[in-house]
């Protein structure tokens, strides 16, 4: 396998640019409240996880996942080859549900705190 001359962080940023999106927009598309996860990847502070790459592939099936690891492959695939993989789509749905459940739990806890403050409990 050919060694990549661009690091995965730069390739991540290049993919977002080629798709006409950014870290903020991507975070909203996957149901995150903050784009920090994606900003940290772009800045080279963390590497993207499998789940992060799966999120991108599920949303943008034209992205060639091999591009992140090799230099001799195109960033984007031909539209006819870009059918979403069923496991990635279900994986993204599961991630969205997980994020939403966490958000609901946090909001419920905040709601209980506010009720307690309001009624002096």
Section 42-53 average pLDDT? 92
For residue 71, what is the DSSP state? S
Q: Kindly report the length of the chain.
A: 121
pLDDT value, residue 1? 46
Q: What is the pLDDT of residues 6-30, one digit of tens each?
A: 899 999 999 999 989 999 998 888 8
Handedness of CA 18, 21, 24, 30 (dihedral sign): negative
* Alpha carbons 68 and 74: distance in angstroms, whole number: 10
Q: What is the pLDDT of residues 73-114, one digit of tens each?
A: 899 886 544 455 555 556 666 776 777 787 788 889 889 999
pTM surpassing 0.95? no
pLDDT value, residue 92? 65
Phi, psi of 76 (to 5 degrees): -115, 145
* Alpha carbons 4 and 92: distance in angstroms, whole number: 27
Triad 10, 54, 99: Cα angle to 5°: 105
What is the distance of C-alpha 121 from the center of its chain? 40
Domains along the sequence of the chain with CATH: 8-118 (1.10.260)
């Amino acid at each position: 396998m050919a060694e990549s001359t661009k690091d995965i962080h730069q390739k991540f940023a290049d993919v977002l640019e080629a798709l006409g999106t950014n870290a903020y927009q991507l975070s909203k598309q996957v149901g995150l409240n903050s784009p920090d996860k994606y900003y940290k990847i772009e800045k080279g502070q963390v590497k993207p996880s499998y789940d992060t790459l799966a999120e991108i592939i599920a949303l943008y099936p034209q992205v060639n996942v091999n591009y992140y690891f090799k230099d001799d492959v195109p960033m984007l695939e031909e539209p006819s080859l870009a059918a979403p993989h069923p496991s990635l789509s279900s994986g993204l749905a599961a991630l969205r549900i997980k994020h939403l459940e966490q958000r609901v739990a946090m909001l419920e806890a905040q709601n209980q705190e506010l009720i307690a403050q309001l009624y002096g409990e």
